[in-house]
A and B are shown apart, each in its own frame.
Chain A
Amino acid sequence: MGTSILNIGKSALAAAQVGISVTGHNIANASTPGYSRQEIVQRAAEAQDYGFGFLGQGTQVSQVKRVFNEFTVKQLNSAQTSSSATNAYAAQMRQIDNMLADSAAGLSPALQAFFSSVQGLSSNPGDAATRQSVISKAQSLVNRFQSLGSRLDELRQGVNSELTNSTRLVTTYASQIAQLNDSISKTIAANPNSLPNDLMDQRDLLVSEMNKLVKTEVYTQDDGGYNVFVGNGVPLVVGGKSYGLTTVCSTTDTSRLEVAYVGNTTEPLGDNSLPGGVIGGLLQFRSGSLDSIQNQLGQIATVFAQTFNTQHQLGFDPAGVAGGAFFNVPSPKIYGDVANSGGATLSVSISSATAITSSDYRVKYDGTNYNITRISDGSVQSFASLPQTVDGLTINGTMSSGDSFLVQPTRNGATLLSLAITDTSKIAASDATGGNGNNRNALLLIALQNTGTLNNSTTSYESAFGQLVSSVGIKTNELRVIGAAEEAMVAQTTATQQSESGVNLDEEATNLLRYQQAYQAAGKVMQIADTLFNTLLALGH
């Protein structure tokens, strides 16, 4: 009997000690990322039948478990991945928004200054200083186009390198998750009752980090391992085996990195198969905004340069020679698919600047027809032969069945624009009549400024730029609003998840007191057992 009381005391003492150490562990990890608070599962030890009834044998700790709600975490991850995508998209758009915010650095002042200098030319066409001013203002306008264009190019390169870094991180996370899967399954297999809580927390943290980069789904296996899928069901971790993501050059546009899946082979994944997370946000930014913004700016530059050239070439310089090109208009960028047959060639030239759009085009030959797709709206025109003229572009080439080309008519329009004239005596301000004061052509050049030139002669340079600014503003604003809503959702779900799994220090303080008192009481039980035994021993004296 005496030993049994001592044992009961001992079991209580041990349980209280476990309680204190679990509480200490919670306190120590109160601010550890991904930590779920732990608690002990305690039950009464199996009682013994003494004939007169069952006598309890003290207590035992059956499990230390983490407080973890899979459903809440799923909810949190789903909110988090959209929020990360929107944030990544918004961060890029904000840069364009800020670039356009400074009205002194935008296109308008440079365009305005250039046309003012042409006005000056009209008032004194023979004057050397006036002519020089036209050349230098034209140069600053070209510089402005180039700097806006190259800023967008930088963003494009930034997207490429950010994609590379993010896919590398995702691959690292996947291999770490696979390793943890391994350890966790082994531990559980050895003793299904004792769960490696801290390893499981680490694994869930890795999943949530991966989920910030790309939408991640987790399926728990019977052995406790996680199967991890990203995007629209791309398997990255299966049990102890992991795969990865990487970036590869697009087969149609070699300046563009695409995300690819590294399984047994490396397969490019379409932009649409990777929603969510930083990667999803960047892909969306590039295809949804950057491409069209850069194309629109290029369209303004191309149409401006081409229409100005056309009018300039109708005039005559002081020597009576017909005017030449004033600007060098960049030619459309053409990419042949890497799978094209050897002899495939394509040439594209701008035949009517006012008719060009800001879209990219795909030219594909199916053996019978040349299918020319305007990518912005997906409309297809089919022709039995080349050359053909579509949207102001003359398209010619030799293709075999299956060959395809990507055409970007205006992508580099701003970046590669340059001045064709540096000699002031080549400015064609007059008409065929000639004469030092002849300003006929200068007047017609000025008129271009307020004439509809872009989009089938409906939009002036200035209003096209205004439209670009407002579309950037609208998109950035939209992302800001959506981003704020999603962030609130994340904060709310985080609070819910934390209210279950997070550590509350006051609660731990209470637990400390409770286990301390339990420990003291257990000690008392043992002391009484000792006294009882001593009473027995004293009987012999």
Chain B
Amino acid sequence: MRISTNTIYQAGISKIGSLQAEQSRLQQQISSGKRILTPSDDPLAASRALEVSHAQSVNAMYASNRSIANTNLTGLDISLGSITELLQTTQVTLVGAAGTLSTEQKNTVAIQLTAQLETLIGLANTQDSAGNYMYAGYQNRTKPFTATATGATYNGDSNQQLLQVEGQRQLVVNAPGDSVFQAGGNDVFSAFSDIITILNNPASTPAAVQAGVATAISSIKTATNTVAAVWSSVGTRLNELDALNDVGSSRDLQYTEALSDLQDLDYAQALSDLTQKQTILEAAQKSFVTITGLSLFDFIR
């Protein structure tokens, strides 16, 4: 079969061209580390990779929510610890005042209790790092407790703030003050103020004082139990966060592996392909030059 001279050049050039294109593609893959350069390289893997990286970033989002929840709950944990300690001190103070007291002794106890009440109101008005009140429900920009003659009034609401900490799990990250300090009609602030009023009243009979102290002890005990219940539930939630974090990081690892399987380049294979293509290209170039260098005209003298 006769071959036209154009065909010889055309065929040589187009083969060399396609080898160079393959090399440049390999080069792009090697420099990016990715097997899939455009969705058309592997449409199914490309869209699967989108899904996986979406899932991964959603997972990361929950992780950041958990970290916020952790900060909030740790704040509550510390604050509830201080409150428990304070209430226990108050109980000790009150038990010490159970006998018959002199006017001076009554005054001392009253002063101690007044100071403890102020500390308690301060603790109940604790703010988190963002400046939000921890015991205010949704009204977290409003100071939840204001001291009054008969204890303290609550300015917050009873709403629990939820955070999405995992795909199917929303966690309560606050503790509305009414459920901590005024649960079940037992207002801890009134208990303080009631006994302080009795102690400060010079007309109070020893029997009235003793009765008042007994009521206060019982009320503070109940309050301590309520706070302890809230505290323990905060602890439980912190534990749950730890568990969710473990699951979250193991998921993150899985997603990273899945993405790598879908997208990443097999370097050993790619580098070996590159060498192979280079050998072929060199051979093609050499043979092209040899073939096109042959011409009958060279022999016509």
Nearest Cβ in chain B — how far from A79, in angstroms? Answer: 15
Nearest Cβ in chain B — how far from A207, in angstroms? Answer: 19
Nearest Cβ in chain B — how far from A303, in angstroms? Answer: 17
Q: Which residues of B contact A449 (CB under 8 A)?
A: 58
Q: Which residues of A contact B47 (CB under 8 A)?
A: 466-467, 469-470, 473
Query: Known contacts being A123-B65, A450-B167, A476-B39, is A504 close to B5, with CB within 8 Å?
Result: yes
What are 8 of the A-B contact pairs (CB < 8 Å)?
Answer: A30-B5, A116-B61, A123-B163, A436-B138, A462-B50, A498-B6, A499-B1, A499-B2
A443 touches B162 (CB 8 A): yes
B3 touches A504 (CB 8 A): yes
B40 touches A97 (CB 8 A): yes
Q: Is A438 an interface residue (CB 8 A)?
A: yes
Nearest Cβ in chain B — how far from A126, in angstroms? Answer: 6
Query: Known contacts being A119-B61, A123-B68, A477-B40, is A510 close to B7, with CB within 8 Å?
Result: no
Interface 9-residue window, one of B89-97, B190-198, B221-229, B293-301:
B293-301
Q: Is A434 an interface residue (CB 8 A)?
A: yes
Of B65, B161, B297, the residue contacting A509 (CB under 8 A) is B297
Q: Is A307 an interface residue (CB 8 A)?
A: no
Q: Chain A interface mostly helix, strand, loop or mixed?
A: helix
Among residues 75 to 132 in chain A, which have CB atoms less than 8 Å away from a CB atom of chain B? Answer: 93-94, 97-98, 100-101, 103, 106, 108, 112, 115-116, 119, 122-124, 126-127
Nearest Cβ in chain B — how far from A502, in angstroms? Answer: 2
A433 touches B50 (CB 8 A): no
Query: Known contacts being A31-B6, A436-B132, A502-B6, is A470 close to B300, with CB within 8 Å?
Result: no
Q: Is A41 an interface residue (CB 8 A)?
A: no
Given A438-B138, A470-B47, A503-B6: 10 more A-B contacts, CB < 8 Å? A100-B38, A123-B173, A124-B68, A124-B130, A437-B132, A439-B163, A470-B44, A480-B40, A494-B10, A507-B2
Interface centre among A449, A494, A502 (most CB of B within 10 A): A502
Q: Which residues of A contact B64 (CB under 8 A)?
A: 116, 119
Q: Which residues of A contact B102 (CB under 8 A)?
A: none
Of A94, A123, A437, A507, the residue contacting B139 (CB under 8 A) is A437
Nearest Cβ in chain B — how far from A380, in angstroms? Answer: 33
B46 touches A473 (CB 8 A): yes
Complex alpha-carbon distance, A467 and B46, angstroms:
10
Nearest Cβ in chain B — how far from A184, in angstroms? Answer: 25
Complex alpha-carbon distance, A513 and B301, angstroms:
11
Complex alpha-carbon distance, A122 and B64, angstroms:
12
Q: Is A430 an interface residue (CB 8 A)?
A: yes
B296 touches A499 (CB 8 A): no
Chain A interface residue count, CB cutoff 8 Å, equals 65
Q: Which residues of A contact B54 (CB under 8 A)?
A: 108, 112, 462, 466
Q: Is A472 an interface residue (CB 8 A)?
A: yes
Q: Is A395 an interface residue (CB 8 A)?
A: no
A505 touches B137 (CB 8 A): no
B167 touches A437 (CB 8 A): no
Q: Which residues of A contact B69 (CB under 8 A)?
A: 123
Q: Is A463 an interface residue (CB 8 A)?
A: yes
Complex alpha-carbon distance, A124 and B5, angstroms:
77
A443 touches B50 (CB 8 A): no
Q: Is A234 an interface residue (CB 8 A)?
A: no
Rank and list the top 6 A-B pairs by shortest CB-CB distance, nearest first.
A502-B4, A435-B138, A473-B43, A473-B39, A476-B40, A470-B47
Q: Which residues of A contact B132 (CB under 8 A)?
A: 124, 126, 436-437
B164 touches A122 (CB 8 A): yes
Among residues 490 to 524 in chain A, which have CB atoms less than 8 Å away from a CB atom of chain B? Answer: 491, 494-495, 498-499, 501-507, 509-510, 512-513
Instruction: List the A residue with the shortest CB-CB distance to B173.
Output: A123
Among residues 47 to 66 in chain B, which have CB atoms less than 8 Å away from a CB atom of chain A? Answer: 47, 49-51, 53-54, 57-58, 61, 64-65
Q: Which residues of A contact B283 (CB under 8 A)?
A: none
Q: Which residues of A contact B23 (CB under 8 A)?
A: none
Q: Which residues of B contact A112 (CB under 8 A)?
A: 54, 57-58, 61
Nearest Cβ in chain A — how far from B173, in angstroms? Answer: 8
Q: Is B289 an interface residue (CB 8 A)?
A: no
A100 touches B139 (CB 8 A): no
Q: Which residues of B contact A501 (CB under 8 A)?
A: 4
Complex alpha-carbon distance, A509 and B138, angstroms:
98
Instruction: List the A residue with the shortest CB-CB distance to B68.
Output: A123
Q: Is A308 an interface residue (CB 8 A)?
A: no
Among residues 116 to 168 in chain A, which have CB atoms less than 8 Å away from a CB atom of chain B? Answer: 116, 119, 122-124, 126-127
Instruction: List the A residue with the shortest CB-CB distance to B161.
Output: A437
A498 touches B139 (CB 8 A): no
Of B37, B130, B163, the residue contacting A127 (CB under 8 A) is B130
Interface centre among B42, B54, B295 (most CB of A within 10 A): B54
Complex alpha-carbon distance, A182 and B44, angstroms:
56
Q: Which residues of A contact B162 (CB under 8 A)?
A: 439-440, 443
A436 touches B65 (CB 8 A): no
Q: Which residues of B contact A509 (CB under 8 A)?
A: 295-297, 300
Of B7, B39, B296, the residue contacting A506 (CB under 8 A) is B296
Nearest Cβ in chain B — how far from A108, in angstroms? Answer: 6
B296 touches A502 (CB 8 A): no
Q: Which residues of B contact A435 (CB under 8 A)?
A: 137-140, 157, 159
Q: Which residues of B contact A123 (CB under 8 A)?
A: 65, 68-69, 163, 173
Instruction: List the A residue with the shortest CB-CB distance to B44.
Output: A470
B164 touches A498 (CB 8 A): no
B138 touches A103 (CB 8 A): no
Nearest Cβ in chain A — how far from B190, in angstroms? Answer: 25
Complex alpha-carbon distance, A465 and B130, angstroms:
37
Complex alpha-carbon distance, A174 and B135, angstroms:
86
Interface centre among B38, B139, B167, B295 (most CB of A within 10 A): B38
Q: Which residues of B contact A446 (CB under 8 A)?
A: 164
Q: Is B170 an interface residue (CB 8 A)?
A: yes
Interface centre among B4, B163, B295 (most CB of A within 10 A): B4
A108 touches B139 (CB 8 A): no
Of A97, A480, A510, the residue contacting B296 (CB under 8 A) is A510
A97 touches B139 (CB 8 A): no
A100 touches B65 (CB 8 A): no
Interface centre among B37, B53, B164 (most CB of A within 10 A): B164
Nearest Cβ in chain A — how far from B116, in angstroms? Answer: 28
Complex alpha-carbon distance, A283 and B59, angstroms:
43
Of B4, B42, B50, B137, the residue contacting A437 (CB under 8 A) is B137
Nearest Cβ in chain B — how far from A141, in angstroms? Answer: 14
Q: Which residues of B contact A101 (CB under 8 A)?
A: 37-39
Complex alpha-carbon distance, A103 and B69, angstroms:
31
Q: Is A338 an interface residue (CB 8 A)?
A: no
Q: Which residues of B contact A504 (CB under 8 A)?
A: 2-5
Q: Which residues of B contact A437 (CB under 8 A)?
A: 132, 136-141, 159, 161, 174
Among residues 136 to 184 in chain B, which have CB atoms less than 8 Å away from a CB atom of chain A? Answer: 136-142, 157, 159, 161-164, 167, 170, 173-174
